Structure 1
C-alpha cells in the first residue's frame, strides 16, 4: 500500500529547521519610510525602502506594517537578503481599484529569491470585483495578477495571512523549497472567475496546514514539478476542490510525486480530490499520492480522475493523455455526493492508471438513492468496505 508522502517526524524537522519567527534586532516600520495608513496614499515606495533597509541588514531584521490600511501597487521584494528577515503585518494592504493599473505584470506582490524568511499576519485585499466584471462581460481584459507570489524562495514560513478578492490566484509558489504555510485564509466569492486559492509548481518540501480556502476555482492547484507536498486540516469550499493538474499542457513536463491530502473537509465544492490531464501526448507522471481521512459534504465529484480534459475541443479530441498515473491511494473518504456518480476514474486508453487503491470509502448520493461509480482504464485494489461499489479492474 502507498505510504504517506511526508511523515510527522520529517514535518517536525522541517518546522524546526526553517522557523525564523524569533525576535529580530532591527525593525523597519513602513510608516517611518513615508507609508500612510489611509488606504488612499500610494505607499509602494515606502514599502520598498523599508524592505531594502531590512534586506541589507547584517543582523536579523523585521519589516513592520502596523495597523491601518495601506495602498500598494505592483511590487517586488527581492532577495537574497543578508540575514533572516520577517515581514510582519498587523494592518491591511490593499491594491488599486483600477484593475488595469497592474498591466501585464502577472503579479501584485512578489517575494523573489528570499531565504530564511517569514511572512506573518495581515490582510491583503486585491479588490478585484472590477476585474471579475470585465471577465464576465467578455471584454478585452488584462490577463490578471496573482495576489501573493513566491519565486525561487527557500526555507520560508507563511503564517496567519488573509488574502481576499484576488484577480486570479491568491497565493503561488514557483520553484520553492522547504516552505510551511499555516493558518491562512484565502477568500473570494464562489462565482468569482478563475480565483484559485493556493497554487504550487516546481517546488519541493511544501506543507499547507490548518487553513481555510473559499474561492471560485481550485482551493489548491498542484502543478508540474511538485514533490513532497503535504496538505492537512484544510477547509475547502466553495471552490473546485484540490486538483493535481491540469497536466500535459506541453509534452516535456515535470512529474508530480509524493503528495498527501489528509484530515480535510470539502463543503459544496465542484470536486473533492481530482487528478486532471489534457488528452495529449506527454512524458509526465503522477505517482505516490495519498488521499486519506477526508469528509465530503454535498460535493459534485468527490473522487475524480479525468485524463480526457479537452474543454475547447481543439487539438485533443482524438488524442489520449500520456501522463502516467500510478500508486494513488484513497483511504477513509466519507460523506455525500451532490451527483449520483460519486466516483469517476476516467484514465487514459494509452496510459492506464495503475496501482490504484480504494480503502474504506463511504460516499452516498444526497438524493436518497445509491451512488454509482465509473471507471475506464483504471487498475487497482479494493480494501475494506467500498461504497459506491468499486469499478476498478484488477
Structure 2
C-alpha cells in the first residue's frame, strides 16, 4: 500500500492488526485508516477501511448481528464505501469463508455495470469446490487462488519486490551506458549487474525496504521507493561492484546499511553505504547521523568506520571533524562510551578516480 500497488484494503475484522503493521514500518502517515463513517472525510489515495468498525469504536456501532450483516447496510455508508473501493480494476477477496451481504450485493452491481472490465478474485486456503463464498460470488477456478491471506500477501510482496529490483537493474544499465562503463570491444557492461540483481532478489520486500531506509538515513523502517532513490541506489551498487571486481572480493549486504566485502584468508571489510542526494546531505551531516546511529546500535552489532556515499553536497573531508579527543595519548578504541568513532569518507567517484582508493576503502 505504501508503494501504491494496492489502493484499498477493506477488512471485516475488528482487531487492529493492520493498523499495527503500518506503525511497525512507520507508514501510518502514508496510508489512511478509516474506522467508520465519522472518518469518511479522511479517505486518501490508499486506505485501510474497517467496514464493520474497529475494536476502538463504540460497542453499539459494531456490526455483529445477522440483520446488520445482511440488510441494515443498505443505503448506508457501508454500501457506498464498498462500491467505491470494489470499483478498482482488480479486487481480491481473502480469508472470507462465508457470505457478506454488502460485498455480495456490490459485486453483483459492478459485474452488471462493468462486465469483464472488473475482475474479482478469491484467495482462500481451501479447495474451490468447498468454498461457499466462491459459489455465492460466482468466482470460478480461474479466478481462485488457493492460498491463505498471509501466504497470498507474501507472494504479492515478492512479486512487487522483483519489479523494484528490475527498476534498479535498468537504472544500473542506463547509468553504465551513460558514463561509458562498457567494454569497448564487446559492448558489455563492465560491472556485473546480474550479480547485483541476484543479491537484491534474494531479499524480501521488507528486508530490502529496511536496507534502503538505512542507505537513505531514514528513521522509517520502510520508505516508499521514488525514482530518485533508484538512481542513487544504482550509483551505490555500481560502486560496490567496482570495488568487488577491482579488489577481487565477494560481498554481501547487511540490513543495517552495510556491505561486507569478503575474501579467502582475508579479514572481512564492513563499509557503510549512504545516499546523500535524497535530503541534500553534506558530509558533516552524514557524520553526525552515523555517530548517532552508533550510539543507538544494538549491543553486539558491529559498525563500520569506512563510509561510501553518493550524492553528497560539498567537498569530501580529509578527516573526521571535530577532533576525536581533546586528550593526548588516549586510545579512542578503549572508550567505554562509543569506542573508536572515527570515520573515513569516500564518494563513489573517488574510488574510480584515485589510485588505490578501493584498497584503502577496504583497509
Q: Decide which structure has greater helix share.
A: 2
Q: Decide which structure has greater strand share.
A: 1
TM-score by length of 1: 0.25
Please tell me whether Structure 1 or Structure 2 has the larger radius of gyration of its CA atoms: 2
